[in-house]
């Protein structure tokens, strides 16, 4: 997941040479929906005696919510943002997702509980975002700043979606590939309805652009989402979002090597603060390691059994 999603920022940047940001989001969701639909059609996966597709109307409504919040809006935001920011910087902002997930899972949906070390991690992560943005650089709003805010908005959407999925959908008897198909397929259907607005404009397709769009759709918005659902169910929303440990590393390396992108000092500095915040938020590191948390920090570690039950 980290390798595929980390590469997606490079793919979007290359595709922008021949298609619009709306066409990028449209292509990846429609192609992803078709890929997942074919997988479900061939395999007809099910859990126990449950039907392949859910029959309750409320379940379809929940999938509509995460299709909009986890696919349509963030895919449009990231594709739009990369007109103004580098692919490397966009991948760094994607690393904010675990911080946003922890906040949403705790404050909005109450499916997890933050301990002291995690609160410190959230604060560090937010501080890192401020350093990345570098507000001292801007005497007025610029395209670059709006692009960064769009990336941040996409990360907020992902955090909301992780928490919402865990709260309302992850415990239901729906196979992972079906789950991913309903999520992406509904989003692809929304994009088809928006075709006159988002995709009905001239394109300049080349071999690399077509390959990038296919990879974004079939892999990044197709197969990887099946893996994502399996990890979400096994680890919970906050731990599942740790894929963003790998994503910015892949995105930055590809941006520098392939596109020759560069950084200012504050961007990698802010990224390090964000990653430290993620480590604390994920309970990979305790405040006791710095002599700040003592026995309380050491005693506060919990994990999830994948069904929402805390294990000491």
Tell me what pLDDT residue 254 has: 92
Q: Which residues are 311's β-sheet partners?
A: 303
Distance CA 198, CA 13 (A): 18
> Helices 87-94 and 116-133 meet at what angle, rounded to 10?
160
Tell me what pLDDT residue 28 has: 96
Indicate the Cα dihedral angle 15, 20, 25, 27, nearest 10°. -70
The secondary structure of 227-238 as a DSSP string is HHHHHHHHH-HH
Q: Tens digits of per-residue pLDDT, 175-194?
A: 989 999 999 999 999 999 99
- pLDDT per residue rounded down to tens, the chain (312 residues): 889 999 999 999 999 999 999 999 999 999 999 999 999 999 999 888 888 899 899 999 999 999 999 999 999 999 999 999 999 999 999 888 888 888 887 877 876 777 888 888 888 888 888 888 887 776 556 778 899 999 999 999 999 998 898 889 878 889 989 999 999 999 999 999 999 999 999 999 999 999 999 999 999 999 888 888 888 778 776 666 667 778 888 898 999 899 998 878 888 888 898 888 888 877 776 666 555 444 444 333 343 443 333 332
Q: Tens digits of per-residue pLDDT, 256-285?
A: 899 998 878 888 888 898 888 888 877 776
User: E strand or H helix at 164, and its extent?
Assistant: helix 143-168
Tokens 């659902």, residue?
229
Q: Tens digits of per-residue pLDDT, 221-256?
A: 998 888 888 887 787 766 666 677 788 888 989 998
Q: Cβ(172)–Cβ(59) under 8 Å?
A: yes
């Amino acid at each position: 997941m980290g390798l595929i999603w980390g590469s997606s920022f490079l793919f979007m940047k290359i595709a922008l040479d021949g298609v619009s940001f709306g066409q990028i989001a449209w292509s990846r969701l429609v192609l992803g929906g078709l890929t997942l639909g074919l997988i479900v059609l061939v395999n007809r996966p099910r859990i126990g005696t449950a039907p392949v597709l859910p029959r309750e109307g409320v379940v379809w409504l929940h999938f509509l919510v995460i299709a909009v919040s986890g696919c349509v809006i963030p895919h449009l935001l990231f594709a739009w943002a990369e007109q103004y920011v580098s692919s490397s910087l966009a991948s760094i902002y994607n690393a904010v997702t675990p911080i946003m997930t922890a906040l949403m899972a705790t404050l909005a949906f109450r499916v997890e509980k933050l301990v002291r070390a995690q609160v410190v991690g959230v604060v560090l992560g937010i501080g890192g975002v401020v350093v990345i943005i570098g507000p001292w650089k801007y005497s007025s709003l610029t395209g670059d700043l709006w692009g960064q805010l769009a990336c941040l908005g996409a990360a907020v959407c992902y955090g909301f979606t992780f928490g919402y999925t865990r709260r309302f959908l992850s415990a239901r008897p729906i196979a992972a590939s079906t789950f991913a198909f309903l999520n992406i397929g509904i989003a692809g259907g929304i994009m088809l309805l928006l075709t006159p607005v988002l995709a009905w404009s001239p394109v300049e397709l080349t071999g690399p652009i077509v390959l990038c769009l296919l990879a974004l759709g079939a892999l990044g918005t197709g197969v990887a989402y099946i893996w994502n659902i399996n990890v979400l169910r096994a680890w919970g929303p906050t731990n599942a979002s740790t894929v963003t440990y790998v994503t910015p590393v892949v995105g930055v390396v590809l941006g520098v090597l392939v596109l020759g992108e560069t950084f200012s000092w504050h961007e990698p500095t802010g990224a390090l603060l964000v990653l430290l915040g993620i480590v604390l938020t994920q309970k990979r590191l305790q405040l006791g390691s710095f002599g700040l948390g003592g026995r309380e920090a050491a005693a506060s570690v919990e994990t999830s059994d994948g069904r929402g039950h805390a294990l000491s």
